[in-house]
């Protein structure tokens, strides 16, 4: 393992260097396209590509001033907010019986819950299109898109929250019961705070997934547009620097949300303290 570093044969050192160089290339491959996109968003040339003819912020100004983008942004945020609310509530509720109830086919049910992630999004989109327009005769709207996206984002919340619930020390709840807390108080003051990191992470995840979702929304949103759909209609005609600017802003937004999700382990420290407390409590009960 880590001890390998330092005690390698000549051939081993060669392999390490070759693989390190390879890994570097992989990182270049992963980041170059996005880096170029950002680079070109500051380029004065109106073709959105090389050569660099000067640096400018005008594409950002025109993107920020574009009313179509305003509308798309408003719809996108509305949809993402509703999707986040739906998936957090539905996902968290489902995580409890999934982990805590006696279930005969727990693994089967678990796989059933993540099926919407495993199946291509295209199928979710077209099948809901048929349900809404063919069977229910509902007008397509941002709300139908919310339903479609929630089908796809909720499983992520279920996975996150149920993983957290699995590692949850039930002794904490019993300790609270010993101290006189009723079911509701235990849920509100013990279980919920401990699950919060997973719930918030799930919410952030659902929000970013919704922000970027294209194919399901494309089928279900009707005449309205979200940012991904706006970008899609623009790039049908090639690269435009304005889309580059919009894209760069979206990438920055995604990374910010991601950073927030990664900052969560900080908040989780409180729950580790609680786990230690739970252990201590059990030890105290064991010794008369």
**How many angstroms separate the CA atoms of 16 and 159, rounded?**
36
192 scored as a contact of other proteins (CB under 8 A): no
Query: Per CB under 8 A, does 93 bind other proteins?
Result: yes
Residues numbered 259-288 forming contacts with other proteins, rule: CB under 8 A = 262
Least gap, CB of 70 to other proteins (angstroms): 19
Q: Which of 28, 44, 57, 123 binds other proteins (CB under 8 A)?
A: 123
Among 184, 168, 195, 174, which Cα is nearest to 92's? 195
180: left (phi over 0), alpha (psi -120 to 50) or beta: left
- Which window, 64-72, 74-82, 241-249, 273-281, contacts other proteins (CB under 8 A)? 241-249
Instruction: Tell me how far CA of residue 122 lies from CA of 75, 214, 234, in angstroms.
Output: 21, 10, 21
**Site string (57-76) toward other proteins, x via CB under 8 A:** --------------------
CB of 67 to other proteins, least distance (A): 21
**Rounded to 10 degrees, what is the CA torsion of 174, 284, 163, 200?**
80
| Cβ atoms of 112 and 103 closer than 8 Å | no
Q: Return the CA Rg of the chain.
A: 25
Stretch that binds other proteins, among 53-61, 69-77, 158-166, 193-201 (CB under 8 A): 158-166
Give, for 126, the enclosing helix (H) or strand (E). Answer: helix 121-129
Among 19-27, 61-69, 70-78, 189-197, the segment contacting other proteins (CB under 8 A) = 19-27
Give the shortest CB-273-to-other proteins separation in angstroms: 20
Determine, following the binding rule CB under 8 A, whether residue 129 of this chain makes contact with other proteins.
yes
Rounded-to-integer distance, Cα 162 and Cα 109, Å: 13
Q: What is the C-alpha separation between 147 and 152, in angstroms, rounded?
A: 9
Nearer to other proteins, 155 or 197 (CB): 155
* Binding of residue 201 to other proteins (CB under 8 A): no
Span 202-221, contacts to other proteins by CB under 8 A? 208, 211-212, 214-215, 219
């Amino acid at each position: 393992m880590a001890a390998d570093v330092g005690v390698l044969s000549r051939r081993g050192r060669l392999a390490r260097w070759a693989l390190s160089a390879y890994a570097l290339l992989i990182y270049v491959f992963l980041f170059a396209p996005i880096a170029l996109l950002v680079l070109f968003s500051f380029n004065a040339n109106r073709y959105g590509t090389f050569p660099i003819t000067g640096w400018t912020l005008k594409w950002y100004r025109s993107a920020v001033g574009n009313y179509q983008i305003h509308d798309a942004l408003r719809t996108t945020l509305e949809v993402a907010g509703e999707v986040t609310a739906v998936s957090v509530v539905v996902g968290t509720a489902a995580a409890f019986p999934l982990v805590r109830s006696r279930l005969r086919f727990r693994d089967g049910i678990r796989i059933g819950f993540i099926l919407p992630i495993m199946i291509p999004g295209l199928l979710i989109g077209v099948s809901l299109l048929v349900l809404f327009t063919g069977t229910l005769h509902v007008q397509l709207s941002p709300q139908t898109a919310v339903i479609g996206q929630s089908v796809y984002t909720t499983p992520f919340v279920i996975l996150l929250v149920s993983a957290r619930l699995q590692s949850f020390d039930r002794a904490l709840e019993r300790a609270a019961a010993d101290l006189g807390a009723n079911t509701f108080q235990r849920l509100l003051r013990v279980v919920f705070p401990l699950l919060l990191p997973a719930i918030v992470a799930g919410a952030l995840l659902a929000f970013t997934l919704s922000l970027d979702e294209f194919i399901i929304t494309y089928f279900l949103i009707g005449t309205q547009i979200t940012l991904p759909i706006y970008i899609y209609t623009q790039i049908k005609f090639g690269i435009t620097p304005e889309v580059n600017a919009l894209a760069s802003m979206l990438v920055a937004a995604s990374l910010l949300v991601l950073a927030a999700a990664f900052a969560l382990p900080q908040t989780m420290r409180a729950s580790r303290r609680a786990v230690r407390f739970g252990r201590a409590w059990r030890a105290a009960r064991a010794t008369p």
